[in-house]
Homo-oligomer: A and B are copies of this chain.
Amino acid sequence: MSDLDKVLAHIDADFDNALDRLFQTVRLKSISTDPAYAAETRACAEWHSKDLETIGFASEVRDTPGHPIVLAKNHEAEGTKVLFYGHYDVQPADPLELWEGDPFEPKIATLPDGSKEIRGRGASDDKGQMMTFIEACRAWKAVTGKLPIPITILLEGEEESGGANLPGFLDAARDELGADVAMICDTNMWDKETPAITTSLRGLCAEEIFIHGADRDLHSGFYGSAAANPNHILARIIADLRDADGRIQIPGFYEGVPEPSPELLAGWEKLDFSEAAFLGEVGLSIPAGEKGRSVLEQTWSRPTCEVNGMHGGYIGDGFKTVIPAVASAKISFRLVFDQDPHKIRAAFREFVKARVPADCRVEFKEFGSGRAVAFEVSAPAFQRTQQGMSDEWGKEAAFVGGGGSIPVTTMIKEKLGMDVVMAGFGLSDDRIHSPNEKYSLTSFHKGIRSWARVLAAL
Q: Is the CB of B239 within 8 A of A221?
A: no
Q: Is the CB of A330 within 8 A of B308?
A: no
Among A3-11, A162-170, A285-293, which stretch is in contact with chain B?
A285-293
Which residues on the B side are within 8 Å of A240 (C-beta)? 239
Interface residues of A in 238-288 (CB under 8 A from B): 238-242, 246, 275, 278-279, 282-288
* Residue in B246, B282, B308 whose CB lies within 8 Å of A319: B308
Interface residues of A in 348-376 (CB under 8 A from B): 357-360, 367-368
Complex CA gap A272/B224 in Å reads 21
Interface residues of A in 285-321 (CB under 8 A from B): 285-290, 295, 298-299, 302, 304, 306-315, 318-321
From known contacts A225-B288, A284-B214, infer whether A311 and B311 are also in contact, taking CB-CB under 8 Å: yes
Q: Indicate whether A332 reaches chain B with its CB closer than 8 angstroms.
A: yes
Q: Is the CB of A357 within 8 A of B221?
A: no
Interface magnitude class on chain A: 35 or more
Q: Is the CB of B359 within 8 A of A310?
A: no
One digit per residue, 1 when the CB lies within 8 angstroms of any chain B CB and 0 when it does not, for chain A 314-338 equals: 1100111111100111101010000
Among A290, A310, A319, chain B packs the most CB atoms within 10 A around the CB of A310
Which residues on the B side are within 8 Å of A324 (C-beta)? 308-309
Chain B: CB-nearest residue to A285 = B359
Q: Is the CB of A321 within 8 A of B315?
A: no
Q: Indicate whether A226 reaches chain B with its CB closer than 8 angstroms.
A: yes
Which residues on the B side are within 8 Å of A311 (C-beta)? 310-311, 315
From known contacts A309-B312, A313-B307, A332-B220, infer whether A226 and B282 are also in contact, taking CB-CB under 8 Å: no
Interface residues of A in 367-419 (CB under 8 A from B): 367-368, 403-405
Nearest CB on B from A238, distance (A) = 4
* Residue in B235, B308, B360 whose CB lies within 8 Å of A313: B308
Q: Is the CB of B315 within 8 A of A330?
A: yes
Which residues on the B side are within 8 Å of A288 (C-beta)? 225-229, 357
Which residues on the B side are within 8 Å of A318 (C-beta)? 367
Q: What are the 7 closest A-B residue pairs judged by CB atoms, nearest first? A: A225-B289, A221-B404, A215-B283, A239-B239, A235-B238, A224-B304, A309-B313
Which residues of A are interface residues toward B (Cβ below 8 A)?
A: 202, 204, 206, 208, 213-216, 218-229, 231-232, 234-242, 246, 275, 278-279, 282-290, 295, 298-299, 302, 304, 306-315, 318-324, 327-330, 332, 334, 357-360, 367-368, 403-405
Q: Is the CB of A307 within 8 A of B225?
A: no
Which residues on the B side are within 8 Å of A242 (C-beta)? 232
Which residues on the B side are within 8 Å of A219 (C-beta)? 403-404
From known contacts A221-B404, A235-B234, A321-B206, infer whether A282 and B314 are also in contact, taking CB-CB under 8 Å: no
Nearest CB on B from A360, distance (A) = 8
What are 9 residue pairs bridging A and B, where the CB atoms are less than 8 Å apart in the complex? A216-B283, A218-B282, A225-B298, A227-B282, A228-B284, A229-B288, A231-B306, A231-B329, A315-B330
Chain B: CB-nearest residue to A358 = B286
Complex CA gap A205/B191 in Å reads 52
Q: Is the CB of B330 within 8 A of A299?
A: no
Chain B: CB-nearest residue to A213 = B284
From known contacts A228-B284, A359-B286, A368-B319, infer whether A312 and B310 are also in contact, taking CB-CB under 8 Å: yes
Additional A-B contacts beyond A225-B304, A286-B357 (7; CB < 8 A):
A226-B287, A231-B238, A235-B235, A238-B239, A284-B360, A309-B320, A309-B324
Q: Is the CB of A220 within 8 A of B321?
A: no
Nearest CB on B from A207, distance (A) = 9
Which residues on the B side are within 8 Å of A322 (C-beta)? 308-309
Which residues on the B side are within 8 Å of A313 (C-beta)? 307-310, 330
Which residues on the B side are within 8 Å of A241 (C-beta)? 232
From known contacts A222-B403, A224-B299, A284-B359, infer whether A307 and B214 are also in contact, taking CB-CB under 8 Å: no
Complex CA gap A168/B226 in Å reads 37
Nearest CB on B from A263, distance (A) = 22
